[in-house]
Amino acid sequence: MIMSRMRCNAAEGGVSTVLVVDDEPTARLALAARLQRLGYRVIQAGDGKAGLEALRRERPSLTILDWMMPEMDGPSFCEYVRQDPELLTSQILMMTSHDQPEQIAEGLARGADDFLSKAASKYEITARVQAGIRAATLVRRLRDATEEIRQKQEVLEQELQSAARYVESLLPPPGIILPGVQMVHAYRPSLALGGDLFNIVPWSDDFFGLYLLDASGHGVSPALRSSSFSTFLRRDSLLRHVGSNDPGAILTEANKQFPLTETGHYFTIVFASLDLRCHTLSYATAGHGGALLHRRSGEVCWMAQPNLPLGFDPSTTYVTATLPIGPGDRLYLLSDGLYEFPAASGELWGQGRLETTIQALGQQPLETVITETIAEAVRWQGHEQFPDDVALMGVEVAI
């Protein structure tokens, strides 16, 4: 609607409307006639109040306003207009018979855009009116463009929110994943959309896989890449493409399927399998440091193996490592966003403090450990918003 008004008024050669507000009929009619001869559509108002009504109703390109009027004078009219959010961008040309510099300064200070002497020549009137209309056109274009940007931004944000809800719907619901195995997680994307994803891959009644992946970069593109990778990591897909539940074999195949993008983006990942019958944890990592085993005894074991992130070199073979696990042991998979973030001083929280925090929380309920670890990290950085995506998944084995 705003666009259509702009078109018929000025932007594409339509007739511009000028409002003349003056209590003195002779002067008003004379100016109106002159403006009509110049090709403008003219509306007239005999006092400030009627002027404001006309301004609101007609939204003229330019208002020419007499300074001296009973009740509401020119400067008061201007002040009123500048306080009204709907009218404040109106162009106002104030007319006065005594154009003293102090008076001009006062008029401008109270909200007029320009001045016109009552004694001005025909040429000056034409020139000032044209200048005013030019300014009005620019202001309208700017306002329309701002409005258009705001609307587009709103659409984009709604789409981002809906994409974010989709990504979160890919995450596993916390709870008992197999008899005797509890899982709790925390997920804090740095923007609406995150590039971290994690999930459970059920192999059998007493054997399951779990992974946490981190796509480099922030925002829409890593979120898309992550969700495509998580599709590859579904049970059926893995059995079809890899034909094995061995973590090393899975990452070796994923490394071929997900090469470095042309802009240099890639994944880091930890993939683990827990065999409850044999009490073993087998795992492989690709450039991913965030995986630790917190034993019931209190011992903490970081599972990182120094090796390339996925996609860096297609010939890489990722090797499975194996650890024994026992009742009460807890496995934590996390993204580096949970330790590579600074305090206000610039000092990073680091893996050491994360480990100390988890150790200090000890055998408190898994839910508490996850919540309190995030809370401790938030205390360190001094605010809620992490600079990178943060994901933390904890699994406790009771049998």
Partner 1 sequence: MQTKERPVPNGVVLEMTGDLTYANREQFKTAVEAIRQKGCRHLILNMAEVRFVDSSGLGLLALVSQNFKLSQAKVSMLKPQSYVREIMSLANIQKLIPVYDNEQDAL
> Applying CB under 8 A, which residues contact partner 1?
214, 216-218, 260, 262-266, 268, 287, 289, 304, 306-309, 311-313, 316, 336
Find the helix or strand (DSSP H, E) in which 1 lies: none
For the CB of residue 71, give the shortest distance to partner 1 in the complex, in Å. 59
Q: Which residues, other chains included, contact 360 with Cβ-Cβ below 8 Å and sequence gap of 6+?
A: none
CA distance 290 to 287: 9
**Eight-class DSSP state of 315:** T
Please choose, from the candidates 204, 201, 168, the residue with its C-alpha nearest in 3D space to the C-alpha of residue 186. 168
Q: Is the dihedral of CA 18, 19, 22, 24 positive or negative?
A: positive
Whose Cβ is closer to partner 1: residue 103's or residue 221's?
Answer: 221
The CB-of-268 to partner 1 minimum distance in angstroms stands at 8
Of 246 and 336, which has the nearer Cβ to partner 1?
336
Say how far residue 373 (Cα) sits from the centre of its chain. 26
Counts for the chain of helices (H) and strands (E), in that order? 11, 16
Rounded to a whole number of angstroms, the minimum distance from the CB of residue 316 to partner 1 is 8
- Residue 44 vs 316, nearer CB to partner 1: 316
- Least separation, in Å, of the C-beta of 269 and partner 1? 13
341 to each of 149, 337, 389, how far by Cα in Å?
A: 33, 7, 10
Single-letter amino acid, residue 122: K
Nearer to partner 1, 180 or 264 (CB): 264
Question: Taking the CB of residue 298, how many other CB atoms lie within 10 A of it?
Answer: 9
Q: Which is nearer to partner 1, 267 or 332 (CB)?
A: 267
* 60 neighbors 129 (Cβ within 8 angstroms): no
Quick one: 179 or 387, whose CB is closer to partner 1? 387
How far is 163 from 224, CA to CA, in rounded Å? 9
Name the minimum Å distance from CB 309 to partner 1: 6
Q: Which is nearer to partner 1, 203 or 312 (CB)?
A: 312
For the bound state, the minimum distance from the C-beta of residue 385 to partner 1, rounded and expressed in Å, comes to 17
As measured in angstroms, the least distance from the Cβ of 65 to partner 1 is 51
CB 193 within 8 A of CB 160: yes
Return the number of the residue (53 or 313) whose C-beta is nearest partner 1: 313
Contact 206, 276 (CB under 8 A): yes
Return the closest-CA partner of residue 20 out of 85, 79, 69, 88: 69
Tokens of residue 309, six digits = 């992130």
Smallest separation, CB 317 to partner 1 (Å): 12
